[in-house]
């Protein structure tokens, strides 16, 4: 049946088989999609709470942590970002944001809504912030919380985080990291880095759909958040203040309530998104089954191959080589080439999606990802071959096959 706009409202969902080689989302691993079609359970069914406990255990190694509080926030990656900030920060708190791209700006935007006093320590897009600049900013600003991003897909840069936790702890600050774009693809070492709260998403290197956001919290962060709790045993006590400061300004994203739900208390909060939990559990099983080191090496090989292939085609790769994310590569759109026409041709001729860019990089670079289930040899090589053809059609001189051959050599380098 077609409505007046020609939409086939009663047609089955039957999307084209696109290869998603942008900065995310990417194609989900088939095992994840199969897991998500399993039958539903009641939220307090022992099988369901058993799966919740398994998810906690499965995500600890993925975050590089022994944190008890390792769980899922129902929503896309931004849900876990917002839950972390709204639960850690009260209006008037001083928060330092280590900002080197669009997702650093997102942190400042959310913190502004909360009413925090935000200061940023910035790097130009395409670079990262040196640790001594962060140390100086902490010293100068005396923040209660330091927030940053690990891999910022908007610039394709990965911020080094070794040593950041110790700096924060010495200054009495809690630390937060958005690791959405790198979790499951580059090493995340929450414990070794000493980061208090780290969050992720499924639709990047974990190879799942968007809609579930893994999170881990240190005991110190959990204690800080529990001290702000104003709801006990399901009874609202809005009239009671316990001297811990303002209440957490969100119910859905109140991490104290969500931790109570994931604890043995099983205090009802929202209804856990069952199918997403199955998907998140399978993402972790796939990742740990492969082995994290092997997985990081696979993403590194894909990034190396992509970068080498693009360079061999005569293109200029964006950003600082020393701090490149392995799983997404930015490349300048050559002069005289219409970036959007090439993206359209990639989709129309080859069923391949590559990414545009935001803000200062809009219209200047494409972003090519190879993440999770898509960080595979053939997908990288096919993408490079297709890009070469689309560039030649646009009149950009590129020699046949050179990019793919360089990528093949670089994969095993
Ligand atoms: C992709 C990405 C997100 C995405 O958030 P969603 O809410 O899942 O769209 C957040 N942070 C970073 C660093 C990302 O790369």
pLDDT higher than threshold 70 for residue 343: yes
Cβ-contact 42, 48 below 8 angstroms = yes
> In whole angstroms, what separates CA 100 from the centre of its chain?
15
What is the rounded CA–CA span in Å between residue 285 and residue 31? 10
210 CA: nearest ligand 1 atom: 8
Q: Ligand 1 pocket check: which of 150, 201, 355 to mutate, most ligand atoms within 8 Å of Cβ?
A: 201
**pLDDT score at 7:** 83
Q: What is the mean pLDDT of the chain?
A: 95
pTM of the predicted structure, to 2 decimals: 0.96
Does residue 205 line the site of ligand 1, with CB under 6 A? Answer: no
Kindly indicate the confidence band of residue 1, based on its pLDDT and cuts at 50, 70 and 90.
low
**pLDDT score at 71:** 98
Kindly indicate the confidence band of residue 318, based on its pLDDT and cuts at 50, 70 and 90.
very high
Model pLDDT for residues 42-94, shown as the tens digit of each residue: 999 999 999 999 999 999 999 999 999 999 999 999 999 999 999 999 999 99
Name the DSSP class of 359. G
**pLDDT score at 207:** 98
**pLDDT score at 233:** 41
Using CA positions, which residue lies closest to atom 13 of ligand 1? 152
pLDDT higher than threshold 70 for residue 173: yes
Model pLDDT for residues 132-152, shown as the tens digit of each residue: 999 999 999 999 999 999 999
**pLDDT score at 330:** 98
78 CA: nearest ligand 1 atom: 7
Does residue 152 line the site of ligand 1, with CB under 6 A? Answer: yes
Quick one: what percent of the chain has pLDDT higher than 90? 90
> In whole angstroms, what separates CA 106 from the centre of its chain?
13
> Between these two residues, 4 and 411, which has the higher pLDDT value?
411
Model pLDDT for residues 183-226, shown as the tens digit of each residue: 999 999 999 999 999 999 999 999 999 999 999 999 999 999 99
**pLDDT score at 137:** 98
pLDDT higher than threshold 60 for residue 244: no
Instruction: Tell me the CA–centroid distance for residue 204 and ligand 1, in Å.
Output: 8
**pLDDT score at 6:** 78
Cβ atoms < 10 Å from Cβ of 26: 28
What is the rounded CA–CA span in Å between residue 94 and residue 86? 13
Consult the annotation and say whether 285 binds a ligand: no
- CA 105 to each of CA 96, 153, 360, 396: distance values in angstroms, whole numbers, following the listed order: 12, 13, 13, 35
pLDDT higher than threshold 80 for residue 234: no
Using CA positions, which residue lies closest to atom 4 of ligand 1? 77
**pLDDT score at 231:** 46
**pLDDT score at 63:** 99
Kindly indicate the confidence band of residue 388, based on its pLDDT and cuts at 50, 70 and 90.
very high
Does residue 369 line the site of ligand 1, with CB under 6 A? Answer: no
What is the rounded CA–CA span in Å between residue 274 and residue 45? 11
Does residue 82 line the site of ligand 1, with CB under 6 A? Answer: no
Domains, the chain, in order of start with CATH, read 30-286 (3.40.640.10), 291-411 (3.90.1150.10)
């Amino acid at each position: 049946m077609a409505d007046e706009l020609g939409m086939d409202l009663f047609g089955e969902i039957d999307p084209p088989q696109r290869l998603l080689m942008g900065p995310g989302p990417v194609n989900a691993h088939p095992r994840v999609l199969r897991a998500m079609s399993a039958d539903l359970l009641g939220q307090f069914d022992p099988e369901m709470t058993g799966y919740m406990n398994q998810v906690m255990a499965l995500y600890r190694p993925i975050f590089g942590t022994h944190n008890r509080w390792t769980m899922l926030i129902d929503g896309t990656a931004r849900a876990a970002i917002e839950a972390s900030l709204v639960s850690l920060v009260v209006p008037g708190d001083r928060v330092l944001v280590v900002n080197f791209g669009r997702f650093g700006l997102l942190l400042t935007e959310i913190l502004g809504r909360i009413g925090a006093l935000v200061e940023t320590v910035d790097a130009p897009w395409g670079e990262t912030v040196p640790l001594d600049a962060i140390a100086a900013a902490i010293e100068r600003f005396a923040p209660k919380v330091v927030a940053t991003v690990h891999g910022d897909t908007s610039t394709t840069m990965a911020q080094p985080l070794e040593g950041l936790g110790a700096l924060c702890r010495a200054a009495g600050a809690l630390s937060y990291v958005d690791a959405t774009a790198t979790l499951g693809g580059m090493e995340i070492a929450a414990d070794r880095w000493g980061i208090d709260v780290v969050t992720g998403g499924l639709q990047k290197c974990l190879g799942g759909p968007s809609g579930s956001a893994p999170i881990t919290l240190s005991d110190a962060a959990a204690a800080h958040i529990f001290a702000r709790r104003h709801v006990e045993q399901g009874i609202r006590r809005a009239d009671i203040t316990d001297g811990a400061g303002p209440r957490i300004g969100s119910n859905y994203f109140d991490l104290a309530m969500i931790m109570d739900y994931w604890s043995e208390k099983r205090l009802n909060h929202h209804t856990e998104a069952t199918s997403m939990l199955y998907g998140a559990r399978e993402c972790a099983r796939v990742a740990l089954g492969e082995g994290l080191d092997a997985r990081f090496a696979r993403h590194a090989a894909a990034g190396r191959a992509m970068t080498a292939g693009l360079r061999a085609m005569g293109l200029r790769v964006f950003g600082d080589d020393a701090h490149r994310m392995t799983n997404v590569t930015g490349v300048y759109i050559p002069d005289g080439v219409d970036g959007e026409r090439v993206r359209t041709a990639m989709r129309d001729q080859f069923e391949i999606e590559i990414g545009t860019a935001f803000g200062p990089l809009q219209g200047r670079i494409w972003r090519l990802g190879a993440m999770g289930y898509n960080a595979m040899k053939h997908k990288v090589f096919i993408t490079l071959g297709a890009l070469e053809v689309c560039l030649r059609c646009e009149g950009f001189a590129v020699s046949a096959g050179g990019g793919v051959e360089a990528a093949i050599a670089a994969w095993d380098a």
